[in-house]
Structure 1
Amino acid sequence: MIRTVLPLAFFPHETLMIFPLVPNLEGQYVLRKLALVVGPRRGGKPDREPQGSPENIRGPSTGTSAAFA
């Protein structure tokens, strides 16, 4: 993973048009490879678990039988 971003550190004038903000075509390729490497490691996990019980998350359940009685 470190070798993926080394061109940004060692060759900033060849990978970035306006240092440090705008990547050129090679810099975009390096950043895309970084996203492809880091994305699967994240695994789609949420940052934290939701607090409370499932009822608190979804809201109170409403019964429909009382409305039709």
Structure 2
Amino acid sequence: MKDQSNTELMKARAMKRKRLKEDFILELYIDMLVYEAELLHKKDLLLKKIDLAIDQRDKSQFMTLAKEYAGLTKQFGT
């Protein structure tokens, strides 16, 4: 009877480890999705500001925003 309880404990521990790994992977995927959504939002916002600077013929603002956009794409490899 003691062997059965040890076997059951080992199975329970293995299942717990498996659940923890799955939870970690799920959290990692969620973090990646949020991170990508934030990046896409920042890029979209910058592109709109760049378009506005072009429409207003504001070279200084355009250069500043273009530099920021280039830095963003370099930082995130996109």
Whose helix proportion is higher, 1 or 2?
Answer: 2
Q: Is the structural similarity TM-score above 0.5? A: no
Q: For the superposition of Structure 1 and Structure 2, which TM-score range results when normalised by the shorter chain?
A: 0.3 to 0.5
**TM-score scaled by length of structure 1:** 0.34
Whose strand proportion is higher, 1 or 2?
Answer: 1
**TM-score scaled by length of structure 2:** 0.31
